[in-house]
Structure 1
Amino acid sequence: MKVYVEEFQISTRSREEIVVISEQVEKAVEKSGVKNGIALIYVPHATAIITANENEPRLKEDILNKVRALFPRGAGYRHDEIDDNANAHLANIFLGFHLVMPVVNGELRRGTWQEIMLIEMDGPRRRNVVVIVVGE
């Protein structure tokens, strides 16, 4: 069994934004040499999210608007007394900071419209993304 680990950085430009990272993840899977297995895509940050969905501008706007509605800034969270980013922490907990996808025949197995996305909730920042590919 092979285990391959790669880490790359993404610079975000806004307080909240969606950045597509599919290409970087696919390159890591290719470099891994794993033919069949799984890829874990993980963001080691408490205020960012990893997910997969369609990279359509209006949908990305809808996603950000829904996340803002579910986790509004300045809603009286206790943590805001320290950092003013409690909503970003809550979004990370409930929406997720990792994603697992299959690797089949040496390629990341995504759905037709699925792109891997980092959702920034407390930017702008430099975010690390860790990709771990395990398999044969």
Structure 2
Amino acid sequence: MPVFRIEFQTPGRGFHELTDEVTGHVRSAGIGTGLCHLFIRHTSASLLITENADPAVRADLERFMSRIAPDGDPDWTHGSEGPDDMPAHIRSVLTASELTLPIREGRLSLGTWQGIYLWEHRTRPRHRVIDLTLLRA
């Protein structure tokens, strides 16, 4: 069972596409049929599959989250790391900390317009770690 760790520095809030890196690990493992599991080891960032063709989709997702989990909301009691701390936790709870994708014929079974993303919810740069596990069927 191949296991990989993806580590990188985010520039701050926003999307970081992982599709090519994950695809490379699947290809190098030589798995024809199986599952690809991704798990992010953080509580203020998340993983998602969304459209990768039009960046306006990601901009609209960010605007939506800013409305439902605004930075500095006076109702938040947790804020030990700044005004984006609690909103980042809310955003990660509303999205996903793990993804499982099928592998078919040696490739991730993604739709034409789908991409894999880490969504950074903190405003400052962060070091992020994702565990990637590949299972053969």
**TM-score, length basis structure 2:** 0.90
Query: Residue 132 of structure 1 aligns to a residue in which SS?
Result: strand
Partner in structure 1 of residue 109 of structure 2:
109
Which structure 1 residue ranges, 4+ long, deviate > 2 Å from structure 2? Answer: none
* Alignment partners' CA distance in 1, 2:28 and 2:132: 11
Q: Which of 54, 57, 77 lines up with 2:55 in the alignment?
A: 57
The whole-number CA distance in structure 1 between the counterparts of 2:76 and 2:132 is: 32
Q: What's the CA shift string for 1:43-88, capped at 9, x where partnerless?
A: 11110010011122211110111111121111221111x2230110
Match of 1:22 in 2: 19
Distance 1:29 1:69 in 2: 37
Give the match for residue 67 of structure 2.
69
1:44 is aligned to 2:59: no
Map of 2:29 onto structure 1: 32
- On the 8 A contact 1:10/1:129 being kept in 2, the answer is no
Gaps of 5+ in 2: none
Give RMSD over aligned pairs.
1.2
SS of corresponding position for 1:112: coil
Q: Percent identity?
A: 23
The equivalent residue for 1:99 is 99
Aligned length: 132
